[in-house]
Structure 1
Amino acid sequence: MIKTYKISISGQVQGVGFRPYVYNLAHQFLIKGTVSNNEVGVIIFISGEKSNSENFYQKLISFPPPVSKIQQSSIKEIEVIYFNDFKIIPSEKGGQLNLPLTPDFAICDTCKTEIKNPKNTRYNYPFTTCVNCGPRWAITQTFPFERNNTSIHKFTMCKPCLEEYTNPSNRRFHSQTNTCKTCGIDLFLIDSEGKTIETSSENLFKKTAKLLLEGKIIAIKNTSGYLLCCNAENSEVIQQLRTKKNRLNKPFAVLFPSLKHLENEIELNQQQIGSLTSSESPINIISTKNYIGNLALNKIAPRLNQLGVLLPYTGILQLIANQLSFPIVATSGNIHGSPIISKNNEALEKLQHVADYFLQHNLTIEHPQDDSVVKFSKKFQQKILFRRSRGYAPNYLNIKINSEEKILAMGAHLKSTIAFYPNENLYVSQYLGNLDNYDVYNQFCKTSENFIQLFEQQPQVILVDKHPLYQSTQYGKELAVKYHSKLIAIQHHKAHFTAILGEYNLFEEQVLGVVFDGTGYGDDTHIWGGEFFSYENKSIKRIGYLENFDWLLGDKMAKEPRISLFALASEEMKPILEEKFSPSELKNYAYLKSKNKLKTSSVGRLFDAVASLLNITDINSYEGEAAILLENSILGYNLKDCTLYCEVTSEGFSGKEILKNCYKDLQHGISKEDIIYNFLFTLASTILKFATEKGFQKIAFSGGVFQNTTLVDMLIELAPKEIKLYFHKELSPNDENISFGQIMYYLNIK
């Protein structure tokens, strides 16, 4: 007996080849009906025998398209509808958008092969995509994800492309980003004056590779924004790029032409290979311990024994790579501290004195994104996201929220993101940057308004950080007035804690929260950053912290590790201070310290103090430099050889005691490397002892300090079997997770 069923699928199911997959599967099962996108996902109507229809449904949800992610699915019998065949029908928007937004996907292997093959029609065409790869979020204007809702809409498909698009047996069947040389996007090479140098795809990539070999800097417009590129084996041009970009020491990422080339020069493990070749294709930070190539490492990553590497993830980068015999620097196309540039005229205006040439195209990028960055810890391969952007944003799929309120969270200040809950899904934006920068702030405001417009939902609740001077807080207040929203301020470190609780859905558990970072406005108006929290029964309590010390000179303290040393130093360290400060500085700072009332519990500043004590650095040229160089100074460790620098108390631990014992070991000739081992061992041991003495069996970690992979490995190695550890896995431990944590706090804490 013929029955009719309605199948509803939600999740990451648009822009992933879901409808053509359903079409072909229906033909395999000899099923008639329709499939379409709508504002909540994919809707399928089928008619057939009950058992065959149910088998079709089970096959569909058990083996979906490779880059799709099903969150929910249902099948229910409805009144009989008679179909003549199975069709993909036009999408109809019947309400407001209520589905995950599709992130960008790295170019797939099949498309890579096509653009390399002289006999293929897409030979040398850099915007070759299919249902499994290509830009999605970067070009999205609105949803459902249809061609006419993207910036690729202005490129009308030619007859051969349309034939591919309508042919069920073709791999580009219903590929919304389908274009070719005839109907597609134009790429052109210009000089810094705007003069066209090359437009022919036959010569363009050879010319670009030749210019890179000659030591030129090229601003390449990728599908998610500009990259500044140069020969990574040429010290002179890398230094030029540093000077012009105003990026003194912060490491550059390096794009290798192929995985084979990368493996010939640097040792990789399976986790790193899997990450580099995934659909997200992020930058991976890897050790250069056994590096055997010709990279100008001292210029690319000054003073570091690690390197950020990536592989070509778009057709543009792949076609350039096909012409290269050397790796290239591939860093964000901006002046240091500003947002990534995506518009042609803006690139020429702002990068004219940085880049010698510009490789541009005429596709509009709606949502510029930096490359995402990950690192795996050495011993236990714990994955840590350093930056969550291209390939990951703007979805957060790992949670189900039941709330009638529309909630917008404004996040933090330094590593800003926004989070929006306008429907049944949660969206966390790409990394936006430091809101001290005017252009970043404008991008932050634009992203906030864009989310509100895209989802056609005004926020009823706006969540901000408690810090009254954060730009995100100020803008949140403005939006609350504009939309008549309820405004709620949430303490920074409690938002960190609820972010990790939310990732693992630990809201029914008893958990110790350990939040270590550089700075955050505390409930007592002091600067927090080394916090122990208890969570139980929807309640968070601060139950311990790093013993308070003086917070001096405001933001200058975070930029000069020597000031943290000054704040924590005992009298016996005076000779070291005299080497780092002039007599007038010592006098002035001593006076400020005697009058100071603002205190801090910041573990981030404790890292700075240790780095300064060990003469690793006294001035940070980029955020977190001291902590990065500190970890970089060690190669390996043996826990049996480590020494404790302080004892835990019922209230926490003492940074002054730790620093005093670091100094004592330094005076006794203990190596810097061993002192750093002992310092990290002390932090890990203190956390675990505190948990044990307070009776916790679950510990959740958040805050930028837990980007230190050696500390993470030590915690995993030291933890007794009865204690379970939770580290961020889908969000960065740094302030990028604050917006998500603010929503988790609002929904779950009394």
Structure 2
Amino acid sequence: MKTWHIHITGRVQGVGFRPYVYRLAAKQKLNGIVYNDLDGLHIQFVAKEETAIPFYKSVLKGAPSLAKITGHTIFKVKDQSFQDFQILQNQEVKTAALMLPPDFAMCENCRTEIQSSDNRRALYPFTTCTQCGPRFSLINNLPFEREFTAMNEFKMCTTCNEEYTNPENHRYHSQTNSCSDCGVRLSLANTLGEEFESNSDLAIKKVVALWEKGKIVAIKGIGGYLLTCDATSSNAVNTLRKRKHRPSKPFACMYPNVELVQREFQTHVSELEMLSGEVAPIVLLRLKKKRASIAVNEVVPGLDQIGVMLPYTPLYELLLQAYGKPIVATSGNLSNASIVFEDRKVFSELAGIWDYVLTNDREIITSQDDSVVRFSPLKKTNTYSQVPWFGAQLFRTGFK
């Protein structure tokens, strides 16, 4: 029996890698530890060589879908003794050589939970798990542990903590874990900063009613504020253009579901996969003739392609499902300025643009804007190639 050390580099933090290793080791009855460090993921365990090597291969082969391994190695170290297998935190680190975990779009499990009336996270706008949710926008320091993120301000309730510490739960060591009892709070306010709704369900209903009235609503998202309005209303879109001093540049639209997108746009399987995948960027699509529900001339003046996205957070999912129509969702900024993400600046830099603001009490550490992607058909094939638009990057780091 020897002590082995596995070191894996790449995107290995914030993707559920440690819980996966824990469950795999427990299944094989191995004793050891797994922990995050600034140079990646580390696993130490005791085993015979005929057990260690297959375990190493299994770790790599079954890695979480969100992981991106750039390097890996296994080697023997000085003999150690472990009582069981544990996930460790707060390792002493010196240098950083780590791929930062990006913000991930909401997964299907979380989507199902917020839509299920009998689930404890029904209608909770900040539901996440190890497979989805904010990462990069919340990080204060590395490695990726809750205490180094904006979520450290929210103490988990008893039930959330039980999920966090239960190896059989899909929120085991989910650093962004929270619920309506202990988590992030929504707040709807007017231009004077007067809060008039803090109940999440009622706030969402009121935003829907405001859109119906043609109002401009600023919404605090993952990496900054978005300015939103009814995309089917010419008056609402023109009002937003006038206030934002954006006379002709196209706006992006958020659609409530993929079915409505397919009904109105020419779509390829690659485009649909990108729209609903873990990145969930804006994808440029061509409208089908006479199928547009949006005010095309006002949304994209003089263009034949529209930037389309699907709800990529629980908050947007709840809002768009309640509204049932597409909305304009454009960066909360003035033309040629960076996106506003600080709460105080939404009342100064964006003053005069929005009528109401839907905000929350979780700090955004690093601002990000939505990415834009365009697909182009490859000649003599049925496949599509992915071409970033204006150099935009994936994982919500581009500009629109």
User: TM-score if structure 2 supplies the norm length?
Assistant: 0.96
Aligned counterpart, 2:157: 158
Q: Give the residue type in structure 1 aligned to 2:30.
A: I
Q: Say whether 1:221 aligns with 2:220.
A: yes
8 A contact 2:372–2:393 mirrored in 1: no
Match of 2:45, SS state, is strand
Match of 2:239, SS state, is helix
Aligned counterpart, 2:23: 24
Give aligned-pair identity as a percent: 38
Residue by residue over 1:671-700, the C-alpha shift from the partner in whole angstroms, topping out at 9 and shown as x without a partner, is xxxxxxxxxxxxxxxxxxxxxxxxxxxxxx
8 A contact 2:370–2:399 mirrored in 1: no
Q: Say whether 1:256 aligns with 2:246.
A: no
Deviation at 1:390, TM superposition (A): 7.2
Deviation at 1:76, TM superposition (A): 0.7
In 1, the alpha carbon distance for the partners of 2:218 and 2:393 equals 18
8 A contact 1:103–1:391 mirrored in 2: no
Deviation at 1:36, TM superposition (A): 0.5
Aligned counterpart, 2:59: 60
Match of 1:351, SS state, is coil
Equivalences for residues 362-401 of structure 1 within 5 A: 362-380=361-379, 381-386=384-389, 391-392=394-395
| Bigger strand fraction | 2
Deviation at 1:289, TM superposition (A): 4.0
Check 1:156–1:309 CA distance in 2 against 1; reply closer, same or farther (3 A cut): same
8 A contact 2:264–2:287 mirrored in 1: no
Aligned counterpart, 2:199: 200
Deviation at 1:123, TM superposition (A): 1.1
Aligned counterpart, 1:111: 110
Residue by residue over 1:549-604, the C-alpha shift from the partner in whole angstroms, topping out at 9 and shown as x without a partner, is xxxxxxxxxxxxxxxxxxxxxxxxxxxxxxxxxxxxxxxxxxxxxxxxxxxxxxxx
Aligned counterpart, 1:174: 173
Aligned counterpart, 2:296: 297
8 A contact 2:252–2:328 mirrored in 1: yes
Match of 1:360, SS state, is strand
Deviation at 1:205, TM superposition (A): 1.1
Deviation at 1:53, TM superposition (A): 1.7
Deviation at 1:131, TM superposition (A): 0.5
Check 1:216–1:115 CA distance in 2 against 1; reply closer, same or farther (3 A cut): same
Q: Give the residue type in structure 2 aligned to 1:385.
A: P
Deviation at 1:432, TM superposition (A): 7.2
In 2, the alpha carbon distance for the partners of 1:306 and 1:94 equals 48
Aligned counterpart, 1:100: 99
Equivalences for residues 254-333 of structure 1 within 5 A: 254-290=253-289, 292-333=291-332
In 2, the alpha carbon distance for the partners of 1:389 and 1:324 equals 29
Deviation at 1:197, TM superposition (A): 2.2
Deviation at 1:382, TM superposition (A): 2.3
In 1, the alpha carbon distance for the partners of 2:96 and 2:399 equals 23
In 1, the alpha carbon distance for the partners of 2:12 and 2:286 equals 37
Q: Give the residue type in structure 2 aligned to 1:217.
A: I
Q: Give the residue type in structure 1 aligned to 2:346.
A: A
8 A contact 1:217–1:354 mirrored in 2: yes
In 1, the alpha carbon distance for the partners of 2:390 and 2:67 equals 22
Q: Give the residue type in structure 1 aligned to 2:328.
A: V
In 1, the alpha carbon distance for the partners of 2:77 and 2:350 equals 59
Aligned counterpart, 1:350: 349
8 A contact 1:372–1:388 mirrored in 2: no
Residue by residue over 1:610-649, the C-alpha shift from the partner in whole angstroms, topping out at 9 and shown as x without a partner, is xxxxxxxxxxxxxxxxxxxxxxxxxxxxxxxxxxxxxxxx
Deviation at 1:291, TM superposition (A): 5.2
In 1, the alpha carbon distance for the partners of 2:142 and 2:156 equals 20
Deviation at 1:431, TM superposition (A): 4.4
8 A contact 2:128–2:176 mirrored in 1: yes
Deviation at 1:124, TM superposition (A): 1.2
Match of 2:322, SS state, is coil
Aligned counterpart, 1:148: 147
* Equivalent residues, number: 396
In 2, the alpha carbon distance for the partners of 1:316 and 1:11 equals 30
Aligned counterpart, 1:190: 189
Match of 2:55, SS state, is helix
Aligned counterpart, 2:123: 124
8 A contact 2:372–2:399 mirrored in 1: no
In 1, the alpha carbon distance for the partners of 2:312 and 2:390 equals 17
Aligned counterpart, 1:74: 73
8 A contact 1:332–1:370 mirrored in 2: yes
In 1, the alpha carbon distance for the partners of 2:356 and 2:223 equals 19
Q: Give the residue type in structure 1 aligned to 2:385.
A: Q
In 2, the alpha carbon distance for the partners of 1:391 and 1:83 equals 41
Deviation at 1:391, TM superposition (A): 4.8
In 1, the alpha carbon distance for the partners of 2:77 and 2:391 equals 42
Match of 2:303, SS state, is coil
In 2, the alpha carbon distance for the partners of 1:151 and 1:291 equals 46
Match of 1:56, SS state, is helix
Larger relative CO (CA 8 A, sep 6+): 1 or 2?
2
In 2, the alpha carbon distance for the partners of 1:203 and 1:121 equals 18
Q: Say whether 1:14 aligns with 2:13.
A: yes
8 A contact 2:150–2:365 mirrored in 1: yes
Match of 1:363, SS state, is coil
8 A contact 2:89–2:145 mirrored in 1: no
In 2, the alpha carbon distance for the partners of 1:109 and 1:4 equals 39
Aligned counterpart, 2:340: 341
Where do 5+ consecutive residues of structure 2 fail to align?
A: none
Q: Give the residue type in structure 2 aligned to 1:288.
A: L
Equivalences for residues 435-474 of structure 1 within 5 A: none
Check 1:94–1:227 CA distance in 2 against 1; reply closer, same or farther (3 A cut): same
Aligned counterpart, 1:138: 137
Match of 1:102, SS state, is coil
Residue by residue over 1:342-401, the C-alpha shift from the partner in whole angstroms, topping out at 9 and shown as x without a partner, is 1111001222211111000111111111100000114552211125667537xxxxxxxx
8 A contact 2:5–2:42 mirrored in 1: yes
In 2, the alpha carbon distance for the partners of 1:358 and 1:351 equals 10
Check 1:141–1:207 CA distance in 2 against 1; reply closer, same or farther (3 A cut): same
Check 1:153–1:309 CA distance in 2 against 1; reply closer, same or farther (3 A cut): same
Where do 5+ consecutive residues of structure 1 fail to align?
A: 394-429, 434-750
In 2, the alpha carbon distance for the partners of 1:174 and 1:112 equals 20
In 2, the alpha carbon distance for the partners of 1:264 and 1:431 equals 27
Q: Give the residue type in structure 1 aligned to 2:389.
A: F
Match of 2:140, SS state, is coil
8 A contact 1:220–1:229 mirrored in 2: yes
8 A contact 2:264–2:288 mirrored in 1: no
Check 1:374–1:390 CA distance in 2 against 1; reply closer, same or farther (3 A cut): closer
Aligned counterpart, 1:616: none
Match of 1:180, SS state, is coil
Match of 2:226, SS state, is strand
Match of 1:197, SS state, is strand
User: TM-score if structure 1 supplies the norm length?
Assistant: 0.52
Match of 1:322, SS state, is helix
Check 1:194–1:35 CA distance in 2 against 1; reply closer, same or farther (3 A cut): same
8 A contact 1:39–1:93 mirrored in 2: no
8 A contact 2:105–2:279 mirrored in 1: yes
Aligned counterpart, 2:83: 84
